[in-house]
Structure 1
Amino acid sequence: MTPFPTIAALARRTNPLAALAALAWLVVVGLPLYYLVAVSLRTREDYLTAGPLAPPSSPTLENYATVLDSGFGRYLLNTVIVSAASVALVLLLALPAAYAIVRGTGRPLRAGFSLLLLGLAIPAQAVIVPVYLIITRLRLYDSLTGIILPTVAFLLPMAVLVLTSTLRDIPEDLYEAMAIDGGGPVRALRTLVIPLSRPGLVTVGVYVAVNAWNGFLFPLVLTQSQDRRVLTMGLWSLQGQFTSNVPALMAAMTLSVLPVFVFYVIGRRRLVGGLTAGFGK
């Protein structure tokens, strides 16, 4: 039987600086979340009379009902459409591109990969005017498609980079075994690459979903009607509508953050695995 460690042994294993850093990080992350949820469950009178960090004396869901009656459902649906379409398009384009880069040997592929990576150095703010002109010429202004296409274009370089690193972890022996069995590149992509690259696919999916969900610049410049607003634009308009109703505004922010938080918690392990894949080689 393994003896229990003594207090002295536990003290030697303990890192006080790391523990303090973890505690400080917990406070930095947890305090805003507590404030967000606690205030959203309070009435306006309770918020004005009690302290900002005081727990709600009589929790209520009235603020959430008020937000949902203010068009929040439309903003949420538009954001879900934009995020889901962006994730689907990025995965559909990035995985074959990464597969061609990893398995290909021609100079055009390497040159194309280098050119694609230049997109990481170009901020969207620097090219928003050309993007606006392209979207208007394509007659996609004030549409969800006009938001989706630029979002996919600017998230694609990072997605290809992550998937390229993931695919390099697949052993060469597996490709050779697939070739001996008569499998071509398409079959290898379908039966070998896709199953073994799931951590990278989850990483890209979470990355694209979070960025598309929180996107503000493209919806601001490329849309104008209320029916095409996403959550970021909706929160901006609700901020003016609920200027004096802070609990209702916190309820809107809680509803907008909750789906992304749940999505991240579900895929966080594969997210870390996909981000570190291939970089140890």
Structure 2
Amino acid sequence: MATVSHAAPARRGGTAGRILRLNWIGGTFGWIWLLIVMLPIYWIVVTSLKTQANYFTTNPFAPPSDPTLASYRTVLENQFVQYFVNSVIVTVGAIVPAVAISFMAAYAIVRGTGIRLLRMTNSLFLLGLAIPLQAVIIPVYLIIIRLQLYDTLLAIILPSIAFAIPLSVLVLSNFIRDVPNELFESMRVDGATEWTTLWRLALPLTRPALVTVTIYNALGIWNGFLLPLILTQSPGTRTMPLALWTFQGQFGVDVPAIAASVTLTTLPIMLMYAIGRRQLLSGLTAGFGK
């Protein structure tokens, strides 16, 4: 007995030591990866605070000796605020209906499993995940032209809604499926209609999933470049990603101005991700892990 009791702690100690060594290795690579990711962000922010002359005469990674906001002033004076407002309109205008439609569709698919049409609808939504935007951009362009919506913000909003729905339905349906059936039955016994059950039971219980799909789709729409490039033309309908491409041509040799425009464009994305990072990752893990 004494021999066994001494051998077991030894084995446990050896296992703990190996795990500790592995954690040190993983932590080291984690810090290295963090430095690799943060280095471009640091360079962009530092460059945006330099003048053009200072950028070409100093070390690109050295902090500016005399920081200035002249590059930000230059960007803001060139319709940057209008591009920002356009991106907000497109993002909000696409996210609100997309999430609402996806939530109601997911509820109908989960609660109406005995209806064959709903199963076919679910398969159709899943098929939408396999169709990339690049494969259908020409038909979308022709439809927008036929609807006489070309060069409008609505031309970006409508396709964005369509491409945001499949993934949203997949995540939301998995969350609604986890709600105990007894809760739905108790609501029905109390005389609640399906519409009442949808908004008073399913909505509060799936709020983390709603936040997840909202943030995920908002990031994709905010960063969208192909739809604004193909479906708009005038400067008044440009969004932030397309404006960055324009600034790159307009300030082709003014690197600090380009860095300032990139910084202003990235700030809302980083803020949105920082606020909802935990729910975004947990929601996506739960949505794809079932």
What's the TM-score once normalised by structure 1's chain length? 0.93
* Structure 2 portions without partners, runs of 5+: 1-15
Q: Which residue of 2 aligns with 1:268?
A: 277
Q: Deviations over 1:156-185 (max 9, x none)?
A: 111111111111221112112211221121
1:37-48 mapped onto 2 (5 Å cutoff): 37-48=45-56
Change (3 A) 1:69 1:12: same
Q: Deviations over 1:71-98 (max 9, x none)?
A: 1111101000000111101111100000
Q: Deviations over 1:33-84 (max 9, x none)?
A: 1111111111112211111111111111111111000111111010000001
Amino acid at match of 2:168: A
CA distance in 1, matches of 2:185, 2:287: 20
CA distance in 2, matches of 1:94, 1:28: 37
1:233 aligns with 2:231: no
> Percent sequence identity over matched residues?
51
In the alignment, which of 57, 71, 77 is matched to residue 69 of structure 1? 77
* Greater CA drift, 9-18 or 271-280: 9-18
CA distance in 2, matches of 1:110, 1:11: 47
Aligned-residue offset at 1:127: 1.2
CA distance in 1, matches of 2:287, 2:276: 19
Amino acid at match of 2:69: L
Q: Which residue of 1 aligns with 2:178?
A: 169
Whether the aligned pair in 1 keeps the contact of 2:98 and 2:161 (CA below 8 Å) is yes
SS at match of 2:78: helix
CA distance in 2, matches of 1:71, 1:176: 55
Q: Which residue of 1 aligns with 2:62?
A: 54
* Structure 1 portions without partners, runs of 5+: 1-7
Whether the aligned pair in 1 keeps the contact of 2:171 and 2:284 (CA below 8 Å) is yes
Amino acid at match of 1:20: T
Q: Which residue of 2 aligns with 1:250?
A: 259
Q: Count the aligned residue pairs.
A: 274
Amino acid at match of 1:255: L
* Greater CA drift, 136-145 or 115-124: 115-124
Q: Deviations over 1:229-250 (max 9, x none)?
A: 1111111111011111101100
1:103 aligns with 2:111: yes
Change (3 A) 1:104 1:94: same
Amino acid at match of 1:73: V
Whether the aligned pair in 2 keeps the contact of 1:64 and 1:251 (CA below 8 Å) is yes
In the alignment, which of 189, 197, 205 is matched to residue 198 of structure 2? 189
Aligned-residue offset at 1:279: 4.9
Whether the aligned pair in 2 keeps the contact of 1:168 and 1:278 (CA below 8 Å) is no
Whether the aligned pair in 2 keeps the contact of 1:219 and 1:230 (CA below 8 Å) is yes
Q: Which residue of 2 aligns with 1:78?
A: 86
Whether the aligned pair in 1 keeps the contact of 2:47 and 2:55 (CA below 8 Å) is yes
- Tell me how large the CA RMSD over aligned residues is: 1.7
Q: Which residue of 2 aligns with 1:21?
A: 29
Larger Rg: 2
* Greater CA drift, 68-77 or 12-21: 12-21
Amino acid at match of 1:182: G
Q: Which residue of 2 aligns with 1:3?
A: none
Whether the aligned pair in 1 keeps the contact of 2:86 and 2:238 (CA below 8 Å) is yes
Q: Which residue of 2 aligns with 1:112?
A: 121
Aligned-residue offset at 1:225: 0.5
What's the TM-score once normalised by structure 2's chain length? 0.90
1:88 aligns with 2:73: no
Change (3 A) 1:196 1:41: same
Whether the aligned pair in 2 keeps the contact of 1:169 and 1:277 (CA below 8 Å) is no
